Structure 1
Amino acid sequence: APPRIVMLLEGESLLNDATAIVLFGILISAVIMPDAPQSAGFVVLEFGRVLAGGIVTGLVLGGFAGLLIRYFTQALHHTVVSLAFAYLSFVLADSVFHVSSIMAVLTVGLTIAHFLQSSQARDRKAAIDTVLPFWGVLKYIAGALAFLLVGVTINLSFFTDLWIPLLAGISAVLVARVITVYMVLPVFTIGQPSNKLTLQHKHVLFGGGVRGAITAALALSLPVELEGWWIAQSIGYGVVIFSLFVQTPLLNRYLSRQRWK
């Protein structure tokens, strides 16, 4: 696929996952805590507070991390700085400031990446070649652990007894994707011919909206005191399995048969 489409998919996935985790936490808290405000206005305001607070926390800590990256010369030191500040941002955001730890870590990561890829890092290539593979390995391990836990907790009854809500969940995800890609996204390119998306590009964006480790992790984290939690969990598992075994192979087949301009 063209680099522009790949960038769109990666950026969308990054923001969607972070936003979904924040909303998930707020909605779960509102449901399982009887004394919590239940209004839509509260949810919107809380979402904004948690999201913005996480971003600010990440920017501040990312700035400090950038200063250390400029000070240290060895790529190994840059790796240690990135790991330390990722953990520090999570702890401070979650336990001290009570804002989005996910957004804090994400912002720290983006800020550190900016410093590494800029001329401010003394040994730019060595730093990138060391830090990025390190986090790539951690990403792979985290994803593998999430799917391992899914394999341990899943059972056949999810698909035999709850197949109707499972199919409804998959259908809802696909319909939402159609609306987003084919109806909402073109609105943002009106008056911008250079950014216009062809039908071919839209098909790729539609097929690229796969659900993986984040969806599985959220399904695993559903509290058992939540009424109907097993139904929601089965829907989450079903969406992930559909993405991995149906959506992804179809997308790969489509990409292999296209001639990109």
Structure 2
Amino acid sequence: MQLLLIIIGAGIAVSAIARKRNVEPGMIIVVLAAAASFIPAVPRLELDSEFILAVVVPPLLYSATRGASFAAFGANLRAIITLGVLLVLLTAGLLGLVASWLLPTIGAAAFVLGSVLAPPDTITTVSHGDEIGLPKRVTSILTGESLVNDATALTLFSIAIGVVGGEHASWQHGALELLRNAVVGIGIGALFALMTLWIRKRLGNPTLETALVLLVPFTAFLVAEEAGASGILAVVTAAFSISINLTLDPRHQYPGAYRTRLQERSFWPVLDFVLETFVFAYIGLQLRFVFEDLAGSREPGLVRTLVAAGVLLVVAIGFRLVAVYLLFGRWTLRNHLIKRRSERDESFRNAYEQARQRRNRGGGEPLDPPTQKETLLVGWIGMRGILTLAAAGAIPKDVAGRDAILAIALLVTLGTLLTQGTTIGWLTRRLRFDLSGERAEEEGLREQGRRIVAGASAEPATDPDASFEAQRLALGRAVMERRLTEEIAREMIEDIDLRQAARHTAHPAGA
């Protein structure tokens, strides 16, 4: 307990310094914790293998999903599925094969390592997208990818752990298992969202409502996992449904909800910080002990493990870059071939235009493939993070090569943070994205949002709370009608919530 308090206290100080210097705090915490592990007086922390995945990952994922845009997710679905499913499968397979060649003594556990290293953690980078200067398209793709690839990687991780434990598995079995896990997980998440929305408006107390929502990621994850489904997709589905409905859907608005929204906006970042600090520090503090275990074993041994970590780091970074170019390039080539055929074949052009209209997103044109600059940036942003460290820590202690996998996961995570994490800002500046159009469009939407709010405020209302509610409902309708984006509407609803809270503070009931 004392060590845990020291970790969190040190994390606060480290994060304060790191953010002032625009450096990722998690990277510094891992490095410092790894260095601290070599202090003789530091004990080895031992946690149950299921603790990190069941207690740490669900709330972090729920919090990340709360701020995501469902419309942007849908608009970029093709790119997101390409990266979050196909690329994760390819990466896990390739890294597993390379690991089995470098560390033959760990056997099938090489593919456990492949699934652990496969998913990049891009949410942290995206959260600083405005500061870095990331284009909105890149931000949307990376956010969606991070939500989907966690589910894919953890499903692979579970299958690989089962194979190591002696279960029979085939490619067909793995594909069917992945599909079943996804469908059942989404269904369970939707069910939890419906129950939460029904119960929440009947509690009438911000503390109880926040406590209820806090239970959702844990219970949805555990129920889905017990059902043999994807706990990650259950959490993502529940978070999307609850967040969008409570903020934007008029059918789920209720008096006093603004107090709960304001409380949650303060609560979730604090929980994120504590959990992220704990995971980064916990894995870093394992380094000396893992190295000692490896040095004392004949196979795979410390030197061979370090070499494997270096090779896998290079392969992970290089393969993502190449694969993103090939996958997005195939999309570009397909569009080019369709365009050329459309110029020659009028009947094909008419059929294709009809298909485009059916697939359009709220009346707008379907999105084209990412540009070359966007592709390069997406390919480079592939740092490993919380999920890689958490999954490595969750490997059962009786799995062959567990110490080697822990060490490699930590070193590859550190390597990607140091090489990619520290150069994203530089690369973004070198690519010189013109964001003036995006910013002008956002400002235009804000102006439109202000007009919508002003129009709702002008309607006569005897109760001031009714006026605030009318403003929120007007914004929600504007989003449903595609006249406003979710991001702008949420930004303006937060301002309305603050104004309503300020009014009640200045004029309390009964005063």
What is the TM-score of this pair, normalised by structure 1? 0.87
Tell me the C-alpha RMSD between the 2 structures: 2.5
Q: How does 1:125-204 map to 2 (within 5 A)?
A: 126-155=259-288, 157=291, 160-188=303-331, 190-191=334-335, 194-204=367-377
CA distance in 2, matches of 1:110, 1:137: 20
- Displacement of 1:115 in angstroms is 1.4
1:47 maps to: 178
Q: Which residue of 1 aligns with 2:247?
A: 117
Pick one of 212, 215, 232 that aligns with 2:388.
Answer: 215
CA contact (8 A) 2:181 2:229 kept: yes
Give the equivalent residue in structure 2 for 1:254.
427
Q: Percent identity?
A: 24
Aligned structure 1 segments of 4 or more residues deviating by more than 6 angstroms = none
Task: Work out whether residues 22 and 51 of structure 1, in 8 Å CA contact, stay in contact via their aligned partners in 2.
Answer: no
**8 Å contact from structure 2 (residues 151, 230) kept in 1:** no
What code does the residue aligned with 2:264 have? V
Structure-2 change in CA distance of 1:116 and 1:258 (3 Å): farther
Partner of 1:228: 401
Unpaired segments ≥5 residues, structure 2:
1-133, 295-301, 336-364, 435-511
Give the drift of 1:89.
1.5
Cα distance change on mapping 1:185 and 1:66 into 2, 3 Å? farther
The Cα shift of 1:216 comes to 0.7
1:195 match: secondary structure? coil
Map of 1:58-77 to 2, 5 A cutoff? 58-72=189-203, 75-77=206-208
Distance between the aligned counterparts of 2:231 and 2:433, measured in 1? 39
Q: Secondary structure at the match of 2:169?
A: coil
Q: Does 1:104 align with 2:237?
A: no
Q: 1:29 corresponds to which letter in structure 2?
A: G
> Which residue is 2:354 aligned to?
none
The residue identity in structure 2 corresponding to 1:103 is L
Asked whether the 8 Å contact 1:78–1:131 carries over to 2, the reply is no
Gaps of 5+ in 1: none
Partner of 1:14: helix, strand, or coil?
helix
1:207 CA displacement: 2.0
Q: TM-score, normalised by structure 2?
A: 0.47
User: What letter is aligned with 2:269?
Assistant: G
How far apart in 2 are the matches of 1:219 and 1:12?
Answer: 20
Deviation at 1:175, TM superposition (A): 3.0
Distance 1:79 1:228, change over 3 A: same
Cα separation, 1, equivalents of 2:221 and 2:366 = 41
The one-letter code sitting in structure 2 at the alignment partner of 1:217 is A
Compare 112-121 and 9-18 and name the one that shifted more. Answer: 112-121
Offset from partner CA, 1:210-247 (integer Å, 9 cap, x none):
11111111111222322222222222112110122221
Larger Rg: 2
Count of matched residue positions in the alignment of Structure 1 and Structure 2: 258
Q: Distance in 2 between matches of 1:50 and 1:193?
A: 29
Match of 1:82 in 2: 213
Q: Which letter maps to 1:151? A: G
SS where residue 214 of structure 1 aligns? Answer: helix
